Structure 1
Amino acid sequence: MLFNRSHCLTLAIFVASIAPVVADGRTWTDRTGNAKVEAELVTVKQGKAYLERVDGRVATVALERLSDEDLKYLASLPEHRDEATAAIKRVAAATDGDPSPSRVAPANVVTERPKMATTHVEDESTVGVVRRFKSESWGFQGIAFSPDGGRLAAIGSDNINLIDLDSSQLLARQDGLREIFRFTSVTFSPDGKKLLAGGTRGHVLIWDVAADGRLNAAHNYNIHDNEVKSIAVTPDSQYAISVDSRGNVKYWSIETGQSLMAYGGFYPNTPVDAFITRRGGQALVADGRTMALFDLKEKTALQAASVSRGAAQCVAFSPDGTRFAFNDSYTIRLVDVKTGSELPPLREQSLQWSVDFSPNGKLLACGSHGRIAVWDVDTQQPAHLFTTEETGHLRFLQFSPDGIHVAAIVSPIGQSIHLFRLPKKLHMP
């Protein structure tokens, strides 16, 4: 079992605090009770609620079409109280005080998917490797998709590269950064306008990303005293959470580099991942042994809980923060963050080195020795298997934002990046 009795008790207490964090995502229902959607509130404006689904699509619903429970929830939020209260009054007037399902029409839900770039293939049924990129130096150390999925950032030991995936063109490359540090982590801001890379000496370099892909140096901050293992950026692209190799967390301003919060307590030299809520108010950080909840508005740690006793080689939160995956030797463990319970484990054939959820959270890609196993998270059953021509451990992989591809550094010393295309049946609807 993953949790012993003390772990279960600690996590059970912790879950009570976590519930509001993950539950910006909730089940929204129309007035007929027939239309339901799991989504997170983005905003309310001009009489409509904008709800982001777990697959990234945004549903737009007229407030009058929402259930009484949903309208009361919106009215409880200070920033949306006036619009929700006005909608409640309009519903009462339109239904003569009898807002029963028979008196109202079903919700007219308009669903939009964020605009994604396309990586073209000759045959839409193609499965497997569709792009290959070779390192021009000592190998790649990390990768990150741009938010629209059209570009891939790849860091080397002393260089950073920006690749256009459709054309396979190298848009930008910066070399000679060894004097500053060796790169160890990389990510884009959610608006796609900035690229952040951390290194062994605790620095974080930030570039402005031009429309044509040029990288313009913007900032060089000394955020940590040790290697930067992970960087996550808030949804408004204004702040970042980073974790170093000694287990220290920093919350800081991207514009100024000013540290706004510091926290120590994670296990040294292990992978770590962070989930930040859609509004950027709270965050979860976990390394496979410990999970901590932070209030970013108050700039403080609220609570921490023990997850396991082992040291993981790979960890990942699902995009909606409801599940957490980490490896235990040959096995991938899945935790339901809302309840603290363990889902059935995913048992693999070799040590797991990398893991990532699909954008809708329904698939999990796991990298091991020369193979990428894709699992169905809900059924805990294998969905697909990619094998590579290389024999090394796959230490870095990531789903594309549209959920169609998985990029991975595949060779033993990081000389190659492969872009794998999933079978069409696994593409997000």
Structure 2
Amino acid sequence: MRGHGGPVRALAVAPDGRLAISGSFDQSAILWGIDEGAALAVLRFHDGAVNAVAALPDGRMATGGEDGRIALWRLGRPEPLEVFADHAGPVAGLAVSPDGLLLASASWDGTARVRPLAGGPVRELSGHRGNVNGVAFLPDGRLATAGYDATLRLWPAGDGPDLAVALPTPLNAVAAAPDGEIAAAGADGSVRLLAPDGRERAAVALGPRPVIALVLSPDGTRIAAATVGGSVAVIDRKAAVLRFTLVGPGLPVWSVAFRPDGELLTGGSDRLVRRWDMTSGEPIGPLALTRPPDVFAGLDGERGAEVFKACVACHTLTPDGGNRAGPTLHGVFGRRIATAPGYPYSPALKHLDIVWSAETIARLFEVGPARYTPGTKMPEQTIGDPGDREALVRFLEKATKEKATP
């Protein structure tokens, strides 16, 4: 399904399986008739990428954007029904409670929020140190949140303390099964399965590329895990084993969603929404395969490349890589801040007097983006080890260097 002008960042399927909604870095959402392969409506409201979408049981759809706002939509109306603007940073994830009464949101402002869809007080959940990338409701009403701080947090449905589960990698995504088991994944390329009390049951290693999206099949038997490397792993949840891998054009797959009949939808950097038959693991319709170069080829074991893997979901390095959630880093050394062509920078950055060099890039990760580049949309992160900062800078100097013209 074609229609977006940028990578497809988020996907959700309506409960009846006929409609889907996608969100994109092009700042739009699209409502699709899946079987017809047709766009029914293009929704434009957010000032920035649409990072998260959700389908409500009553037919409404929700979108969450880089602008920190959440909008509720109904098919046939060109404007949002309601808008919520209580997050202070980009909205990265949305989830609907099993009874359809609550909408949860995860944000790079370091919080998650739980909102009664019928109106009423919004509950703010604070505890993560840094951006919250994913959120999922458990069947008992509790909430799971996944953070860049490498913790999974479990929040009670009512009052009471949360449970913080430390994991060995920054987390990008979380999903919950009908029996309460939790799947979480992130930068190290593994999907971890945790019991409802947070104890790890199993881990499925998928390779070196970060996992950036997770979804469980409606019956909870399978997990689809999408990676920066462009593949989607389909995992047997009970056995905790990889069953097969969906191979696309090699570009990052940002979003995955199951239909009730088991068919899988994927959205990626090729700007397409693709359909997959989960019986055969084959695409439904034609599949164009054009693989981009592997930026990590020949760099296995290089420390700077390992550090950069936490950044690859948002930044490209090569001349043809283009912009993602963040601007391309090709040619970044010697470039003034907020001047990469075609990227919608935060207005505050355009007034800063910074030229990117080994020293300024190292300083960015020493003190963090919020202090060094106030007003940035970049998630808050620091690299505390001076050796790791130096290794990252050395890697970027090689990987982003402009090629001399003969």
Quickly name the TM-score band, shorter chain normalised: 0.5 to 0.7
- The residue identity in structure 2 corresponding to 1:222 is S
Contact 1:204 1:223 in 2 (8 A): no
Over 3 Å counting, the alpha-carbon distance change for 1:224 and 1:136 in structure 2 is closer
Q: Any idea what the Cα deviations from partners look like across 1:192-224, whole Å, max 9, x if unmatched?
A: 2111112223212222212xxxx5442122132
Alignment pair present for 1:321 and 2:232: no
Contact 1:181 1:203 in 2 (8 A): no
Distance 1:376 1:140 in 2: 27
Contact 1:353 1:393 in 2 (8 A): no
Question: Gaps spanning 5+ residues in structure 2: where?
Answer: 1-12, 21-30, 289-320, 326-341, 345-406
Partner residue, 2:104: 196
Alpha-carbon shift at residue 312 of structure 1 (Å): 2.4
Larger Rg: 1
Secondary structure of the residue aligned to 1:319 is: coil
Alignment pair present for 1:173 and 2:83: yes
Q: Alignment identity in percent?
A: 18
Over 3 Å counting, the alpha-carbon distance change for 1:327 and 1:163 in structure 2 is closer
Contact 1:116 1:150 in 2 (8 A): no
Contact 2:176 2:182 in 1 (8 A): yes
Distance 2:59 2:322 in 1: 26
Contact 1:161 1:174 in 2 (8 A): yes
Partner residue, 1:380: 281
Distance 2:275 2:223 in 1: 16
Alignment equivalent of 2:178, drawn from 277, 296, 299: 277
Alpha-carbon shift at residue 117 of structure 1 (Å): 10
Distance 2:258 2:324 in 1: 17
Contact 1:229 1:272 in 2 (8 A): yes
Alignment pair present for 1:267 and 2:175: no
Alignment equivalent of 2:130, drawn from 206, 226, 239: 226
Partner residue, 2:272: 371
Over 3 Å counting, the alpha-carbon distance change for 1:127 and 1:252 in structure 2 is same
Distance 1:348 1:116 in 2: 23
Distance 1:124 1:326 in 2: 21
Alignment equivalent of 1:207, drawn from 115, 137, 158: 115
Partner residue, 2:381: none
Distance 2:200 2:235 in 1: 20
Partner residue, 1:339: 239
Q: Any idea what the Cα deviations from partners look like across 1:282-335, whole Å, max 9, x if unmatched?
A: 333344733434332xx3404342423412233333233322223452332222
Tell me: higher relative CO, structure 1 or 2? Use CA pairs within 8 A at least 6 residues apart.
1
Q: Any idea what the Cα deviations from partners look like across 1:34-89, whole Å, max 9, x if unmatched?
A: xxxxxxxxxxxxxxxxxxxxxx9xxxxxxxxxxxxxxxxxxxxxxxxxxxxxxxxx
Partner residue, 2:203: 305
Partner residue, 1:140: 50
Alpha-carbon shift at residue 382 of structure 1 (Å): 1.2
Alignment pair present for 1:151 and 2:61: yes
Q: Any idea what the Cα deviations from partners look like across 1:235-262, whole Å, max 9, x if unmatched?
A: 24x2101110122011111332630x22
Over 3 Å counting, the alpha-carbon distance change for 1:341 and 1:185 in structure 2 is closer
- The residue identity in structure 1 corresponding to 2:142 is Y
Alpha-carbon shift at residue 189 of structure 1 (Å): 1.4
Contact 1:143 1:153 in 2 (8 A): yes
Distance 2:98 2:322 in 1: 31
Contact 1:181 1:199 in 2 (8 A): yes
- The residue identity in structure 1 corresponding to 2:231 is T
Contact 2:110 2:128 in 1 (8 A): yes
Alpha-carbon shift at residue 169 of structure 1 (Å): 4.3
Partner residue, 1:402: none
Alignment pair present for 1:185 and 2:93: yes
Partner residue, 2:192: 292
Could you list the structure 1 runs, at least 4 aligned residues long, displaced by more than 6 angstroms after superposition.
Answer: 114-119, 391-395
Alignment equivalent of 1:349, drawn from 249, 260, 269: 249
RMSD of aligned C-alpha atoms? 3.7
Q: Which has the higher strand share?
A: 1
- The residue identity in structure 2 corresponding to 1:301 is R
Contact 2:144 2:155 in 1 (8 A): yes
Partner residue, 1:248: 151
Number of residue pairs the alignment of both structures matches: 270
Distance 1:218 1:351 in 2: 38
Contact 2:182 2:195 in 1 (8 A): yes
Alpha-carbon shift at residue 181 of structure 1 (Å): 3.4
Contact 1:115 1:148 in 2 (8 A): no
Over 3 Å counting, the alpha-carbon distance change for 1:333 and 1:274 in structure 2 is same
Of 369-378 and 336-345, the range deviating more from structure 2: 336-345
Alpha-carbon shift at residue 166 of structure 1 (Å): 4.2
Over 3 Å counting, the alpha-carbon distance change for 1:246 and 1:304 in structure 2 is farther
Note the 1:45-124 alignment, pairs <5 A.
none
